[in-house]
Structure 1
């Protein structure tokens, strides 16, 4: 399709044969020939745009492509009796009709009305502007044409066709033609773009879905540290027919983004993946998986997706952790520095906090936020204080005056694990507070029955690690330089260094995708979902909304109490 579009554009640019033009000018005005050439280029550009929609099986893309191919046949003849090019367009139209059964993806039902509104709006604007220009230059009109001819001139101009009016100078006529033709083309292009937008998906879950998902997490949540994040409110669920496995996903810019491994019985994963892929094909979505583990990547690859390593997850064995030894010197010094400054930390399950204490934690977490953007998707819960998350572990840091200066939240990872979700701190606190909170969580873990603790995810960790080794090749060094440039915008290298201090084991995480040409689209959708790209609107304050919607967690009061005198200093979010 892209080749056919490029061919149309090229044929509109290449001058026609002189003999053909002479013959054509006897029947078609020169202005209409020029309009046909411009329209041919526009048809070519639209065919190139439609290629992506056709690859995703969109039925409306197919309908538009057939219509444009048929229009191209006529335009090639009108622009210069280009029979060869007309035959190519005719062949394309026939080919599209023969393979029509491949295009059945569901379009966004709102797209038709948006496309109609755009088509009508731009066309009406261009029509009105054309009438205004004719009125302004009415003293240059030849003869005394009535308002009916004015209307015909403006309407035909939207189609790129010369109307019946004649001016005593070519400039007014050209101005009307350019204005109306531009708006006519703009209306068609805008309508095509809106018509081909992928159908969105609203993450609607019933209480039964929530209970079934939590039931699977109770049984199989220990298989993947990201499993609990499937409980995010903005993720939709698609189940295996047996109900024994589920995939959580969100649709962003026509990409269906799943995160982590499927949840449930591993034998039922292929059925859940198959149902998800069928759903993607039905809606014209591009399937992609962020941050799945080795088992999940293997299952997705067997279902036809390609796999590349995305980075590594830092997992600490809490039973073997120690502050002693030279490798832990930096962490030990940071913890001791925070302790000498009077900072202390406590750990508490969320269900054991009274409502007013939990409100103080939510207040502090919001106050420490750096800006109003709530980042995270694949490895973030994006809520704090919901009574359904009573098993979450909170690490609360206070200074010597009992003011809250830092908050960590860990979500459950099965019965014996925790996964870091939220990390916020007062930027005015002493250096080493974050290390103190993390070490507190690790050292408290064994008494809580927790033997493994997942920290942050390090993108392309192997590149940083291998680039430091002797004999690193030029390609690896180039990758390292590019990642260092990216680290100036995002916490790439710093997150790797921060997690490496705890001597974790590194668990690889993968990206799954259909084809390499889909990677730019997937990257754009993923960065948007993770809130690393501006969307023009801020996410709502999910933390405070979750608290006020749920009511008391426990009547018991916590020993960790915030006095409300919180310094309004914004911190940072990381996971």
Structure 2
């Protein structure tokens, strides 16, 4: 399989169909808003009550809005979007006639329906597995609320009814009102009848709209990874893991794997809000990357997911670019060279002073492989890390393992800081980066500890490197680092300064600048990391998916505490 067979943009016919559907949606909204011809309304009045005509006009506007929304799904080739577009286009034909005998608009909708049927073969993307029951539940929920509210409104106006209709007639009237049809109950005051009709009709439209939106929402399949896949991935990491510091994070339990037929390369990804989000370079032999990337892209195309890669290195970015994705620089990863790292010199003065200060306060720090800790000590570390965590959300996706104490992670390096009384006050966990490197995964510290705790733990990890065979230490990833670095230089232009101000504003929420400065004080080597994506118009969706995966935006499921994660793996 060649990576070149994947098309980063939809075929012209599919894109054209999506545009035409959206234009027809705009047309429907306009025809619903523009007043109908008086003569046509007069001709229609004997056959359709006024409430029915008004409901048809409202439904035409809703149909137009749905078609506009469906255009995005059609562009990605989703079968469900096509199915719903066919239903809405067919319904619009009748709605145009009922709302004002608008034959011309009905003909336009009929032409749209014919075109959709003719291009059926272009829409094959599979539906998401998790959206199956949400749409019916929303439909029933909104419709049920509208029905009960309609019954209530009839009941409170029972003394204004003509005749003595029973509760069965009330129920029939409320149920028919959900679809814009006048029921058997007659009111002495017209405004009372209109109130019930519009209330039930509005809830009926809301029920349909909510069901459609949930029906189209891409599913996020549950990640199921077999023990065999886990072992195959670990063998690849043992052989090829030295190329990318993010490789070990492919072992996260929420990442699925797409393999080459030979099994010598794989892409790890997670589906978030309709985006198939990979992180880092593909795992395995670089010669097999194009085949793995092609399989991943084909899987996304089959399900209608937008492909994106977060934080890949230079080699990975080149491979994804050859497969058809666009590439932009996302930021830089801070990497320390153990052999040249030193606390000497003016440039390292702040780090040196912080380390000396906390050591004088009686703090000590040790670096140890997880497998060398006793079960009791490991349990204490897991408990302390959970206690030190700021908040209940476990953040991270591209550079976080999101577990601590798993027996399978015995090669992880733990840096433990104790105060003068021997109490554990800080924990760092580094995951393996090939045979001679480590990559920072977890950083926790007691917020009541003196300043310098983090510096002490990082320096201890670097100083312990030679004895442990470690030559490289990867710290955090600094998003858009070059903007901060260049904005501080003499002669920075107005555009760069404006971009710098915006990033500082965002840093109040996401700590972009503080993370950069926390890394920069160690004078690391900066290695660029890239974002890969299909087209620029996909970037907003990808940004939302990435922020969701990294737990900076709300997610539907809560993360388990570190202690629970550790216990569940034992």
1:427-506 to 2 correspondences below 5 Å: 427-506=447-526
Aligned to 1:80: 100
1:199 lines up with 2:219 in the alignment: yes
Aligned residues of 2:310 and 2:532 also touching (Cα < 8 A): yes
Q: Secondary structure at the match of 2:174?
A: helix
Aligned counterpart, 1:99: 119
Deviation at 1:406, TM superposition (A): 1.0
Q: Which is worse superposed, 26-35 or 403-412?
A: 26-35
Matches within 5 A, 1:146-225: 149-225=169-245
Match of 2:335 among 315, 322, 329: 315
Q: Decide which of 525, 529, 532 is 1:509's aligned counterpart.
A: 529
Structure 1 residue aligned with 2:154, among 134, 158, 165? 134
Cα 1:451–1:352, aligned 2, differ >3 Å: closer, same or farther?
A: same
Decide which of 387, 406, 409 is 2:426's aligned counterpart.
406
Paired residues of 1:58 and 1:106 also in contact (CA < 8 A): yes
Give TM-score, length-normalised by structure 2. 0.93
Return the match for 2:366 from 342, 346, 360: 346
1:217-366 equivalences in 2 (<5 Å): 217-366=237-386
Structure 2 runs not aligned, ≥5 long:
1-20
Alignment partner, residue 55 of structure 1: 75
Which is further off, 530-539 or 502-511? 530-539
CA distance in 1 between counterparts of 2:401 and 2:75 reads 34
Structure 1 position 105, deviation (Å): 1.6
- Secondary structure (helix, strand or coil) at the match of 2:328 reads strand
**In the TM superposition, what is the alpha-carbon distance from 1:182 to its structure 2 partner?**
1.6
Displacement, 1:78? 1.9
- How many residues are treated as equivalent by the alignment? 550
Evaluate the alpha carbon distance shift between residue 333 and residue 110 of structure 1 in structure 2; reply closer, same or farther with a 3 A threshold. closer
| Displacement after TM superposition at 1:439 (Å) | 1.0
The structural deviation recorded for 1:166 is: 2.6
Give 1:563's aligned residue: none
**1:487 aligned counterpart, secondary structure:** helix
Distance in structure 2 (CA, Å) of the matches to 1:105 and 1:548 = 36
- Report which stretch shifted further, 275-284 or 236-245: 275-284
Q: 2:333·2:526 contact (CA, 8 Å) conserved in 1?
A: yes
Q: 2:436 aligns with which of 416, 420, 434?
A: 416
Per the alignment, in what secondary structure is the counterpart of residue 96 of structure 1?
helix
Task: Write the mapping of 1:361-380 to structure 2, written as runs, cut at 5 A.
Answer: 361-380=381-400
Greater Cα shift, 55-64 or 139-148: 139-148
Q: Which residue of 2 aligns with 1:568?
A: none
**Distance across 2 between alignment mates of 1:339 and 1:140:** 84
Q: Residue 4 of structure 2 aligns with which residue?
A: none
More displaced stretch, 214-223 vs 271-280:
271-280
Per the TM alignment, residue 544 of structure 1 is displaced from its structure 2 partner at its CA by: 4.4
Q: Distance in 1 between matches of 2:362 and 2:420?
A: 5
| Long gaps (5+) in structure 1 | 551-575
- Following superposition, the deviation at residue 186 of structure 1 comes to 1.6
- Mean Cα deviation higher: 90-99 or 374-383: 90-99
Which of 522, 546, 554 is residue 542 of structure 2 equivalent to?
522
Give the 3 Å change call, closer, same or farther, for CA 423–4 of structure 1 in structure 2. same
The match for 2:142 among 101, 122, 137 is 122
Q: Displacement, 1:548?
A: 6.1
Match in the other structure for 1:569: none
Check whether the contact 2:129–2:221 (CA below 8 A) recurs between aligned residues: no
Question: Is the 2:382–2:562 contact (alpha carbons within 8 Å) kept by the matching residues of 1?
Answer: no
Q: Write the distance in 2 (CA, Å) between the matches of 1:109 and 1:454.
A: 38
Q: Distance in 2 between matches of 1:415 and 1:427?
A: 33
Q: TM-score, normalised by structure 1?
A: 0.92
Q: What is the DSSP-based 3-state SS (H/G/I as helix, E as strand, rest coil) of the residue aligned with 2:269?
A: strand
Tell me how far 1:358 sits from its aligned partner. 1.1
CA–CA separation in structure 2 for the residues paired with 1:469 and 1:9: 53
Change (3 A) 1:121 1:330: closer
2:319 & 2:423 partners in 1: Cα distance? Answer: 48
Counterparts in 2 of 1:141 and 1:396: CA distance versus 1, 3 Å: same
